[in-house]
Structures are given as structure tokens and as C-alpha cells.
Structure 1
Amino acid sequence: MTDTALPYAEVIGDPIAHSKSPLIHNFWLNKLGIEAEYRKTHVKPAELAAYFLKRRADPDWLGCNVTIPHKVAVMEYVSDPGRVGDLIGAMNTIACETGGPLIGTNTDAGGFLGPLLSSGFKGRSVCIIGAGGAARAILYALGQIGVRELTVMARDTAKGQALLDRAGLAGTVISLDAPLPAADLVVNSSPLGMAGQPPLDVDLAPLPSHSVVYDIVYAPLDTPLLVQARERGLAAIDGLEMLIGQAALAFDIFFDAQPAREHDAELRALLTAEG
């Protein structure tokens, strides 16, 4: 049992201290007057099986969001009626149905696309940095809007090629220390540049003036990549945009209510003030 009678959802990962998801979900719960809560829980890879066994026995648990490094590993423990495993190959949201199986899905793809489409992006060529679980969702999302000219920059180029093959998309795989291609969109889907992680060392000089730079890292919010993009006059999308977008989709799944998106400006101010 939990230490509260309130129903709750949470985010799990390793590390997890940096997560802003509880602030987002609890902000919406408060605005809507819903008596529930959202937490963050540190779960190491070796603890996943025990975690799900324990949570399934808790009647107050509504499900969880999943962050690094568990987005692929969690697929072993859940049902997949939407074929998310086949289509994306990673999950970031697990819903607990009373008396039924755990259902896995992915809200990263929709969360990623929202701010990109709002920016008016109509480019064709994309460079994705990283080949992990987030990159899988991003590639799927880009495939849905017809992007076909793809470059994956990965530390492990074989892993980058496997990422393209899984998505069923043609593209080029280059190493992280290769020059950046002149893409219409550059996405950092890796943890590089996040607080406590190695920096992302990339030169944006090859990008044309119309390019968009999108960094899904949100701690810090102004990553060196985005600072460099703005200094070059390029359009920049920060990690809070995707974080809030994917959280909104997950909130509806957990709490059966639409989040209070009319308060996004206030929410962003709170998230930014938190650091």
C-alpha cells in the first residue's frame, strides 16, 4: 500500500531527480480540482520486474511514465494492443486497468510533433542526434508527416542503422564527431547536454538560415545547443515543449481528464523558475 489514500501516477527512471513531470501533472490536477497526485520514483534497471509486481498490487496506482533508460525494457512487462512495440519500439506510458493487464503506449511521438507543427515546419531533411528510445518515437513521428531525408548521428553507428531499419526509413548514419549535415531540422534526442551528462559537442555552422534546432533535453532548459542556435539566428524549440505535450496525452490516460492547457504560460513560468 502507498502512504496516501489518493490515487496516483508517477514517472520512473534512473536517474529521476531531475524530472519535472510531477510539477506538470500536479499543476493540472490542482487547476482541475482532481484529488490525485503524481510522483517520481527512482527505479534501477535490475528493479523493473519487482517494481511492476509491487505496483500492480497497489489499488491506488494508476500507471507510470517511463524515462531513461527504461523505454525499451518496459515492453517486456506490459500488453501492447496498439502495436507500439512494432511501430515505435519504445514505450513511455504504462496504464493500469483495474483487474486487467498493464497497457503500454507512447506519448513521446505526439508530444514531439505538436510544437514542431506549431512552428510551421515544412522541411524535408532531418538530422537526429542519438539512437535511443526517444529517437524511436521521434523517427516514427517524422515518418507520419512525410519526412524522408534522414541522417542519424550516433556514437554506435550500428545502433543508428538498426534504428532506421526498425522505422522502415532510408537514411544515412554518421558518427557523433562527424560534421553536421545541412538539414532543415536538427533534433537532439540524446541525454547529451543534460545536467550530469557529457556535453553535446556539435557545430551548427553548416545549417542554412531557415533551419530549426530542437533539443528534447529540458534540464537545463537553455542547453548549449539551443544557445548556439539562437546566436546564429535559427529557430529553436526547447525540451519543455515536448515534455508538456507528451505529459498532456499521458494525463488524459491516467486521470481521464483533459489537462488545463489554457494555463500553459503559467506552467512554463513555474518550470523555468524551478531551474
Structure 2
Amino acid sequence: MTIKETAYAKINLALHVRRRREDGYHELETLFAFVDCGDFLTARSAQHDSVETIGEFAGGIENPFDNLVAKALSVLPHPDGLAITLEKNLPIAAGLGGGSADAGAVFRIVRERHGLPDDWRERAAKLGADVPACVESVACIGRGTGTELLPVKNDLSGMPVLLVNPRKPVSTGPVFAAWDGVDRGPMPEGTVDDITRKGRNDLLFPAQQFCPEIAQVLEDMNDSDPYRVGMSGSGATCWAIYKTADHRDKAARELAEQEPQWWMMRGNLR
């Protein structure tokens, strides 16, 4: 039996950092959203678990047996082995939760074959703060370190979106460490559209200290007259939402002509 899953790209439509915690993490409020494209996983029955990584960004994973796909397999009970091929289409250290999305896809694969244990949320959270949200991969609000999830009315589902990354990896830890510690207020309430329009990303300024190209990406994307534009997570990937697919595709073509070295992905919000 072969199961195929998309590891949907995660984007943060708002990310409010409230305080540094004593455990070294940060208290935050974020609006998770997901794009209907990303990495792809193919799982087949096997005697033993194995992970093979292919695709444009496969080389960015130093040890394929120590990535989040393998770790997700190790924390989930399953009576038979799974041979998983991971097609890595999302850039590494890009603010898209690529590894977390891959782990979330593994949870869905195991759920389809065998079901998940009752404590799957705790198991997911131990793999990374974004992993619980990536299991269902639907828009939701994250609190705490991002693992306390709340539902939200998604009135932007289906909207065309463009992802752009200047091909500069940005590590999450240093960006959080560079946050100035100023609480700029809570994330607004309301629908996905409300929060996207009124929210912000508190990691934008510290991320630009490590990747100044983010400012150029945002400027060029703003010039394409999007409905809304912002940076995802700790960067460097930026997103732009458009009212029509034609508008998005035109913007993508023009950006590709201006900056052919940038990575881009087109999709729609789930």
C-alpha cells in the first residue's frame, strides 16, 4: 500500500512576540495558515523504517536519518515499517515550517494506516513548536510557544498566494535572540482576514539584521499590488495574497524577470 501526502507550507499571517520565558522560549501569539503546496511524501510498507530525501533542497538536510520525518516515525507507534521518500521542495531555514510540515505529514500517514495515540499532540509538540499545527494543516491561532491551538474562522481560504525567498537561510534561534524584548501588544481578534490586516510580525526587524534582502523582497512584492503582504515566521520567506490567480501569476512572472535567482512558489491558502 502506497500513501502520498503533501507537507503543506506553513506561513504566519501574524506573529506577536509577547515576552521571553524563563525556559528560554518566547511567549507568542500567531496566526498559522497553510498553502496547498510544499514538500511531498510517499510512504510504502517495508520491513524497517527508512527515509530517502530527493528534490531541489535535499542537499540542505545534512543527515536524512536525523530529520523530522525520521523523528516523527520514531515517536509514533506503528506495527510495520514505513519506507518514506521525501521530495524536498521547500527551502531550509526559510520560515515555512518545512521540517515541521514534513513531520505533520508523517502523522497523517500513520493516522491513515493505524490511527494515532491519544497523546499525539504532546508527541508532536516535543518535535517542534510548529508541528502540532502542521498535523491538521488548517488555519488556526497558536499561543504559548505556538503549541496551544485555537480555531479561527478562515475567510481567506482559497485566496491565491505567492511565496518568495531570496535563497538566504535564516536560523530561528538567533532571530528570536535579537528580538528587542518590547511587548507591542496582543494579536487582534476576529477572522483570518481581520487578523491578517491588523496584525504584524515582531520578528521582521531582527530577521532583517541577518538577511537584509528581506526588505527588497517585501518592497518588490508590495509593488505588485497585493491584497496583503508580509514575512513568515523568522524569515526569510515572504508571502503575498492576491485577489485573483491571474494577478498572482502576473506578479510572479514580473518578479522572476527582475530577480531570477529568487525562489518562488505559487499556491492557494487552504
Tell whether the structures are fold-level matches, with TM greater than 0.5.
no
In the superposition, the TM-score normalised over structure 1's length comes to: 0.25
In the superposition, the TM-score normalised over structure 2's length comes to: 0.26
Bigger helix share: 1
Structure with the bigger RCO (C-alpha within 8 Å, sep 6+) is 2
